[in-house]
Amino acid sequence: MIHETPRVRFAPSPTGYLHVGGLRTALYNYLFAKKNNGTFILRIEDTDRKRFVEGAVENLINSLQWCGLEFDEGPGKEGSYGPYIQSERLDIYKNLCNELVSAGKAYYCFCTAERLDALRQEQEQNGKQKMYDKHCCNLSDSEVQANLANNLPYVIRMNIAPGLVVEFDDVIRGHISFNSEIIDDQVLLKSDGFPTYHLANVIDDHMMKITHVIRGEEWLPSTPKHVLLYQSFGWEVPQFAHLPLLLNPDRTKLSKRQGDVAVEDYRSKGYLKEALVNFVALLGWTAGDDREFYYLDELIEAFSLERVNKSGAVFDLQKLSWLNAEHLRKKTSEELLPFLRETMAEKNIPAEKFTDNYLTHVIDSMRERVQFIYEIVENAPYFFSAPQVFDESVIAKRWNEKTPELMQQLVEEFSKLSSNEKEGFETALKVVAEKYTVKTAELIHPLRLSLSGVGGGPGVYDIAMILGKEESINRIKTAIEKIK
């Protein structure tokens, strides 16, 4: 068993979208599987009918695939251990649970919600541990049969023996032990016939031959129940690895209230999947060196569970943005083009007016100056339409009484150009500078202002080249008229 290839699973409940914390759990499972020639399985834990959300599974799978995390087995990709949706496995849970009852490891419980509430209230008042009192565990066979015959609603509970010490080794946290005294007789099968998470996850992990259970830290306290369950069934206990939590800036568990948590939110805000995956991988894991930039295949190569941290990590948007910029710069303008077109459409910029060639040049000139593609449209609107206003502070600083004449001369020189070569604009400008014995800066800044309306941005010759001779000349003329 030690040398068999690992089988791991990402087992979300379909609540409607993929949470970034879920993404990280999925990613670590994926990385671990791929690193070790293992199998990555997607299993849907939809045993809570009250939480059913239409389209949630499709959504989850879409987000996962967008991130590049392809699963080997799962819904729509049946392997030998399906179905992979728990609501389709109800008989399995019920049968196995009955075996537990027969073996005395579990029992029928007919307690009403009212009795349970009263019990908890009483225990709370007396300052005692809130636990089920095994009331129904003491029912005789005939009593149970009679209740069943009368169709009384029931659940099946785990029968946990007191005085045990439950121990296991967590790959990330080491040896952990619990006293069974404080482990409740957990409900295994609900009155609606559905299993609880605890039952379903143990049965499925065993039947799907899961070797490593890699999941969030919130499961750590219920792990002893799972260990006991494996033992009751007589099954081998898998390896556990409990991941640290992702946190809000105030160090509470990452939540909707304090920002975006869905992968699709980040996608629609213009983050590249490469950046999101890279960033999330680094929240709680490092290879141990100083490297921060990774592609997915490089993460696979470098990953190991043993190097996962124990403590929670704050989700830092600033660093995510930086990584986004890093990944942006590594992409070719051709790869970035669809993203630009997409944001142009969102901002109602007529696509047909701009050729791919034109936009590719725009991207080349702006890529070093933005963290997101949409910032090209926001920070350099002058590539999409002529400036309507000219920055007053730049006028004050760069535009003086002799500027109009100089600009007029530039128009003359530009007119002589036979192509839109960048060098042509540069030499033309230098001709004017020499003729009037002024520094090129005295032409460059007013020229930039004329072309863009602002004081910053790509090199002026680049802007002129991209806009072209005609458009540049028109803009200079307009500026001469408008700027007083």
Partner RNA sequence: GGCGCGUUCGUCUAGUGGCUUAGGACGCCGCCCUCUCAAGGCGGAGACCACGGGUUCGAAUCCCGUACGCGCUACCA
Which amino acids are annotated catalytic? 256
Minimum distance of RNA from residue 220's CB (angstroms) = 5
Closer of 35 and 422 to RNA (Cβ): 422
Site string for RNA, 142-171 (x = CB under 7 A): -----------x-x----------------
Interface with RNA, residue 116, by CB under 7 A: yes
Residue 5 phi/psi, 5-degree rounding, is: -70, 145
Angstrom distance (rounded) from CA 383 to CA 373: 14
Minimum distance of RNA from residue 47's CB (angstroms) = 4
Instruction: Give me 19's structure tokens.
Output: 């949470």
Reference 414, options 477, 365, 343; nearest CA is 477
Q: Which residues contact 45 (CB under 8 A, 6 or more apart)?
A: 11, 12, 13, 14, 86, 197, 200, 201
Instruction: Give me 452's structure tokens.
Output: 């863009």
Which of residues 57, 228, 299, 460 is near RNA by CB under 7 A? 460
Interface with RNA, residue 440, by CB under 7 A: yes
Closer of 300 and 314 to RNA (Cβ): 314
Instruction: Give me 103's structure tokens.
Output: 């073996």
Site string for RNA, 221-240 (x = CB under 7 A): xx------------------
Site string for RNA, 356-375 (x = CB under 7 A): ------------xxx-----
Neighbouring-strand partners of residue 430 = none
Closer of 28 and 30 to RNA (Cβ): 28
Closer of 87 and 231 to RNA (Cβ): 87
Positions in 52-111 near RNA (CB under 7 A): 111
Interface with RNA, residue 397, by CB under 7 A: no
In contact, 147 and 110? CB cutoff 8 Å: yes
Angle value at C-alpha 275, between 329 and 286, nearest 5 degrees: 115
Interface with RNA, residue 252, by CB under 7 A: yes
Closer of 4 and 274 to RNA (Cβ): 274
Size of the site for RNA (CB under 7 A): 84
Which of residues 118, 162, 236, 310 is near RNA by CB under 7 A? 310
Closer of 128 and 353 to RNA (Cβ): 128
Which of residues 92, 164, 176, 431 is near RNA by CB under 7 A? 176
| Per-residue three-class SS string for 35-98 | HCCCEEEECECCCCHHHCCCCHHHHHHHHHHHCCCCCCEECCECCCCCCCEHHHCHHHHHHHHH
Positions in 270-289 near RNA (CB under 7 A): 282-286, 288
Q: How far is CA 93 from CA 2, 158, 183, 190, 259, in A?
A: 28, 14, 22, 11, 38
Interface with RNA, residue 290, by CB under 7 A: yes
Residue 328 CB coordination number (10 Å): 23
